[in-house]
Amino acid sequence: MKKEINKYVTWVGKTDWELKKFHGDEFTTNKGSSYNSYLIQDEKNVLIDTVWLPYDKEFVENLKQTIDLNKIDAIIIQHGEVDHSGALVELMKEIPNTPIYCTQNGIQSIKGQYHQDWNFIPVKTGDTLNIGKNTLTFIEAPMLHWPDTMFTYMNQEQILFSNDGFGQHLASEHLYADEVEQEDLWGQALTYYANILAPFGMLVKKKIKEILEMNLPIKMICPSHGLIWRKSPEQIIQKYLKWSENYQENQITIIYDTMWNSTRKIAELIVEGIQKIDKTVTIKIINSSKDDKTEILTQVFKSKAILVGSPTVNNGYLYSIAGILEMIKGMKLKDKKAVAFGSYGWSGEATKLITEELRKAGLEIINDGIKVLWTPNEEIKKICNEFGKNIIKKL
Ligand code: FEO
């Protein structure tokens, strides 16, 4: 279904209400998503990005209702990932000679996935495409979040097409960010940043500063997922700047898994200790085997410290903790503290092993952690309380 944005630009994407998992099973998308494709009709007609592969035929059929495909003069693929390039094969069957503008890395990525030698035109930052009243300027944005990513700026309408940048996995009947429930919107924008862009924080900051220095007036930001920022788009730019600067709130997140509740009890005793010293700090307590990993990573991103606990099992730790530790490592977090804890019956390696993984993830280790034999008795309960108190004193 097409939706008109202004006299030149029409949204021709796909709202995916069903999407619950993204990147395989890496990202939980409980609120669905959208694949935003934009058709610009000026003296020349240009399509920016397509949609995810399963919707390719539907996309092309819908596009035909909006424009005679032979009148499309150019296709811009800002990023080769299949959620944006997925309908290319179907589309190019109809218009095989249409030039595809993308970065040099984009050409490699698209060729690598679709094995087609289409009419690629490589572009770099500052290259332009005159389409009539408007000129499109390309801005490379490597590693935000793939090497091939770029943004496109439409000068007269002052629109920044930002691909994954500033996006949200949020399906909506609306088109604009100001039309939806704001807590949902900002929550999803943060979740998106934490789970997709956090590892590239330094590059996000650098790219935003570069764009701000270009002094491009930006009236609207059109991302390739979720809602369009049309009222005060600088709000999301400022949020990205904040999130890219080793972001943290006054929050501690405690992530544990447990076999027979001993590690859970230790987690709760540590929390008791923390709260005896500081009642203002937000504490999130999460069982990693029961809660969603995308939510866990979002809470980790918001935290100034994380505590990770597991019982020792087969000389290691439980698999849900292993998965979360691997994902935390990938976030490349800076300026966050961490500590491990866990219960054991005999060998008791988990706390030490988790500490090592947290260190490898770049977190500042508060201390060697705590391990408790079997279940906490009255004396150990006090020790766990003290452990919590000492952690908060060190933050
Ligand atoms: Fe939305 Fe990186 O694809």
Question: Does the annotation count 169 as an active-site position?
Answer: no
Give the C-alpha separation, 147 to 111, whole Å.
14
CA of 117 to the centre of ligand 1 (A): 22
Type of residue at 74? A
- For ligand 1, atom 1, which residue shows the shortest CA distance? 164
CA 54 to mean position of chain CA atoms:
22
Question: Does the annotation count 174 as an active-site position?
Answer: no
210 shares its domain with 276: no
- pLDDT per position as a tens digit, 353-367: 999 999 999 999 999
Residue 36 has pLDDT above 90, yes or no: yes
110 shares its domain with 177: yes
CA 371 vs CA 188, 209, 256, 324, 345: distances in Å: 36, 46, 13, 20, 10
Give the C-alpha separation, 144 to 313, whole Å.
39
190 shares its domain with 59: yes
Here the tokens at position 238 are 């400022």
Residue 148 has pLDDT above 90, yes or no: yes
* Mean pLDDT, all residues of the chain: 97
Q: Which of 8, 16, 38, 79 is catalytic?
A: 79
Residue 193: DSSP 8-state: I
CA 348 to mean position of chain CA atoms:
35
| Count of structural domains within the chain | 2
CATH of the domain at 314: 3.40.50.360
CATH of the domain at 132: 3.60.15.10
CA of 178 to the centre of ligand 1 (A): 23
Q: Which of 8, 225, 240, 247 is catalytic?
A: 225
Atom of ligand 1 nearest to the CA of 35: 1
Q: Which of 164, 169, 256, 257 is catalytic?
A: 164
Question: Does the annotation count 115 as an active-site position?
Answer: no
CA of 49 to the centre of ligand 1 (A): 11
211, 243, 275: which is the final residue of a domain?
243
The closest of 159, 282, 136 to 219, measured between CA atoms, is 159
Give the C-alpha separation, 293 to 288, whole Å.
7
130 shares its domain with 44: yes
Residues in the chain: 395
Question: Does the annotation count 81 as an active-site position?
Answer: yes
Atom of ligand 1 nearest to the CA of 145: 2
268 shares its domain with 220: no
This model's pTM is above 0.85: yes
CA angle in degrees (0–180, nearest 5) for 318-197-321: 5
Atom of ligand 1 nearest to the CA of 164: 1
Q: What is the pLDDT of residue 330?
A: 97
Mean pLDDT of 226-239: 97
Question: Does the annotation count 84 as an active-site position?
Answer: no
183 shares its domain with 323: no
299 shares its domain with 345: yes
- Proportion of the chain above pLDDT 70, given as a percent: 100
359 shares its domain with 268: yes
The closest of 266, 259, 331 to 289, measured between CA atoms, is 259
218 shares its domain with 102: yes
Q: Which of 23, 178, 319, 368 is catalytic?
A: 23
Give me the residue label for tokens 């809470």. 299
CA of 22 to the centre of ligand 1 (A): 10
Q: Which of 192, 193, 240, 317 is catalytic?
A: 192
Question: Does the annotation count 192 as an active-site position?
Answer: yes
136 shares its domain with 100: yes
CA of 95 to the centre of ligand 1 (A): 24
- Domain housing 354: 252-394
222 shares its domain with 303: no
Give the C-alpha separation, 157 to 12, whole Å.
18
- For ligand 1, atom 2, which residue shows the shortest CA distance? 81
143 shares its domain with 80: yes
CA of 33 to the centre of ligand 1 (A): 11
Question: Does the annotation count 178 as an active-site position?
Answer: no
User: Is the bond preceding residue 145 a cis peptide, omega within 30 degrees?
Assistant: yes
3-state secondary structure of 237: helix
243, 275, 295: which is the final residue of a domain?
243
- pLDDT per position as a tens digit, 297-340: 999 999 999 999 999 999 999 999 999 999 999 999 999 999 99
Give the C-alpha separation, 366 to 368, whole Å.
7
Where does ligand 1 bind, in terms of residues with CB under 6 Å? 79, 81, 83-84, 145-146, 164, 224-225
Q: What is the pLDDT of residue 91?
A: 98
Here the tokens at position 330 are 């990938």
243, 262, 283: which is the final residue of a domain?
243
- For ligand 1, atom 3, which residue shows the shortest CA distance? 81
Q: What is the pLDDT of residue 1?
A: 80
The closest of 72, 4, 13 to 44, measured between CA atoms, is 72
